[in-house]
A and B are shown apart, each in its own frame.
Chain A
């Protein structure tokens, strides 16, 4: 299995929190607790889970922005830790949630999209770079007129298109999309999802799609990994995961999806207690305090994926 473009092997990551003034011991927040996953060329892998599950930490490690405390992150089979920043950027690019915060307000759209070309010494002349930027704007469906505009003059959807053009200008093989439509209105979300579908079909780009919106993930992803408190609890092809979830947490997530169908059956969410504390992980299976199906064994032994698709002692049939 060496054909993965991106791979995590048993990656762990903890954030040390400062000890208190009065000598309380330093505490470690466990963000990732033994995560392994692979992204094949051209594949779209969905990564879902609630706040604090570790989704964004996975994104930062895959972008080379964060070195894992333990385990290995590989890009094209080579450890990311040994690659130069520029080499990573040529292959992996991010698209973030908030197109208002991620674009420099003092630069024109042309300068924002063209910056990477300049940094990487692509395009011998200014004119050549300008032409390349124009091609990118066209690719993401923006009028060439907007090259001279500033981010403040653009709508939220247009800004997210600029962010996508900037991510694609170096022709990366992989996009890490972290909540790409969460800040957008419904009508604009549809435009951006269509654009991502188009780009994937035309460029054969691989995507890691991080989202809390399961409808968006089902629409785009071919495989889905579900995270809970720093661990992958289920990973499966999208169709089987959405139609026959095997982990009780996946089932609860799916039951929480609300659709504009007033006659849809209202499945109760059978979850106990509130979210767990990542500073103080439960014993055994991290999900057991909230799990409606928990047995005594679940509090003692931690279930692993063990090469399978579900980390649960009593998976759903």
Chain B
């Protein structure tokens, strides 16, 4: 996969805390091709947002990182060089967050915020920048964009603010957009509209999308491939259909089973909850991080790091038990 836009191999991130070293990411491998959508899914604290911060060069100060490879467009990402990263951020890699109210500056007009990046990165003239802002606002579905450039964030609804954030992220024509829970703060009908918009833009612009979410439904709808994270590790990676129809890690399987699914789960029936809780990531540990919550756990699960197994060329999982045996045990 030499054509990967983003190529990460063996990324470890540790954070110094008063209680000891916290292993936030362990051996994360990720590749995204140009124009591809990769969903990264997992529960709180699994490391999905930390992965995004590492790519953006925005890790917390107490964090240390190490990777075999961390490259973008074929060149190493200069994550420790704040000036070089500032040139990439917003220009080649852009990011949108869950809550557009906290990521837009309340004291500046939308127009000022939209043109700031493109003037800085591309040296565009004020007129060119303004034209591009109007064009993009119209494209993301903001009516009367010329007039709205002069307004402030609080004058937009939550859904409109996220549209403005998307327009702002696209100003400099980035090749990779990282979206961290982009619709979690929105109502469901608005969420559907924003997801549709992201899907259209991605196709039109050939944009690669790293979509971070806790919602398996969003991944199923939006992504080409999915990486499932648990306790700082990727435990399964596969094309979306394969991951959801033939989940090969017990955690992926358990996550899907825990959800009530309209039309499929019998109302009022017991859901398959996952017992226990995520292990502490502080200090050293060996073996599979999921083993204490896993119905299939066996003796071998406590030994050594679990190597990545391949089900086929595109489907990998990190479990010592063959997926063919899952159904017979968990049924």
Q: Is there contact, CB below 8 Å, between B260 and A215?
A: yes
Q: Residues 155-171 of chain A: 1 if any B CB is under 8 Å from the residue's CB, otherwise 0?
A: 11100000000000000
Chain A residues within 8 Å of B192, by CB: 255-256, 258, 269
Question: For residue B270, which residue of chain A has the nearest CB?
Answer: A194
- Which residues of chain B are near A191, meaning CB under 8 Å? 273-275
In contact, A275 and B159 (Cβ under 8 angstroms):
yes
Indicate if A271 sits at the interface (CB-CB under 8 A): yes
Query: Given known contacts A197-B268, A215-B259, is B240 in contact with A262 (CB within 8 Å)?
Result: yes
**B261–A261 touching, CB < 8 Å:** yes
Asked whether any CB of chain B lies closer than 8 Å to the CB of A274, the reply is: yes
Residues A174-193 near B (CB distance < 8 A):
185-191, 193
Q: Is B108 an interface residue (CB 8 A)?
A: no
Contact: A220 with B254, CB < 8 Å? Answer: no
Tell whether, in the assembled complex, residue B267 and residue A218 are in contact, meaning their CB atoms are under 8 Å apart.
yes
Per-position 1/0 for B266-296, Cβ under 8 A of A = 0110111111010000000000000000000
Is B127 close to A, CB under 8 A? no
B187/A275 in contact, CB under 8 A: yes
Closest to A260 in B: B216
Report which of A185, A187, A258, A271 forms a contact with B221, defined as CB distance below 8 A: A258
* Chain B CB within 8 A of A50 CB: yes
**Chain A positions within 8 Å of B268 at CB level:** 197, 219-220
Q: Given A220-B268, A259-B262 in contact, is the A186-B43 Cβ separation under 8 Å?
A: yes
A186–B221 touching, CB < 8 Å: no
Which residues does chain B contribute within 8 Å of A193, judged by CB atoms? 260, 271
A253–B192 CA distance with the chains assembled, in angstroms: 10
Interface: A238 (CB within 8 A):
yes
Interface membership of A314, Cβ < 8 A: no
Tell me if A132 counts as interface (CB < 8 A to partner B).
no
Contact A185/B273 with A216-B260, A260-B259, A275-B190 known, Cβ cut-off 8 Å: no
Q: How far is the CA of A238 from the CA of B217 in the complex (A)?
A: 22
Give 1 or 0 for each of B26-37: 1 = CB within 8 Å of chain A CB. Answer: 000000000000
Whether A50 contacts B258 by the Cβ 8 Å rule is no
Q: By the criterion CB–CB under 8 Å, are A187 and B188 in contact?
A: no
Residue with the greatest number of chain A CB neighbours at <10 A, chosen from B216, B219, B262: B262
Do A274 and B187 touch (CB < 8 A)?
no
Task: Report the count of interface residues on A (CB-CB < 8 A).
Answer: 44
Q: Are B220 and A264 in contact (CB under 8 A)?
A: yes
Of residues 225 through 273 on chain A, the ones whose CB sits less than 8 Å from some CB of chain B are 238-239, 242, 252-264, 266, 268-269, 271
- The answer to whether B244 touches A262, judged by C-beta atoms less than 8 angstroms apart, is yes
- Complex Cα spacing A189 to B220, Å: 20
A140 → chain B closest CB, angstroms? 14
Selected contact of B271 from candidates A190, A258, A260, A264, CB within 8 Å: A190
Contact of A214 with B by CB under 8 A: yes
* Residue B157 is within 8 A (CB to CB) of chain A in the complex: yes
Across the interface, which residues of B come within 8 angstroms of A239, CB to CB? 267
Cβ contacts A37-76/B at 8 Å (1 or 0 each): 0000000000000110000000000000000000000000
A212 within 8 A of partner (CB): yes
Say yes or no: is B241 at the interface (Cβ < 8 Å to chain A).
Answer: yes
Q: How far is the CA of A190 from the CA of B265 in the complex (A)?
A: 12
B272 touches A262 (CB 8 A): no
Nearest chain A CB to B269's CB is how many angstroms away?
A: 8
- CA–CA, A190 and B256, complex, Å: 11
B214 at the interface (CB under 8 A from A): yes
B215 at the interface (CB under 8 A from A): yes
B189 touches A269 (CB 8 A): yes
For residue B15, which residues in chain A have a CB less than 8 angstroms away from its CB? Answer: none
Closest to B256 in A: A260
**B44 beta carbon closer than 8 Å to chain A:** yes
Instruction: Verify if B160 is at the interface (C-beta below 8 Å from A).
Output: yes
* 9 chain-A/chain-B pairs, Cβ below 8 angstroms: A50-B190, A190-B272, A191-B273, A215-B265, A253-B188, A259-B217, A262-B240, A269-B192, A275-B157
Interface residues of chain A, those whose CB is within 8 Å of chain B, are 50-51, 155-157, 185-191, 193-194, 197, 212, 214-216, 218-220, 238-239, 242, 252-264, 266, 268-269, 271, 274-275
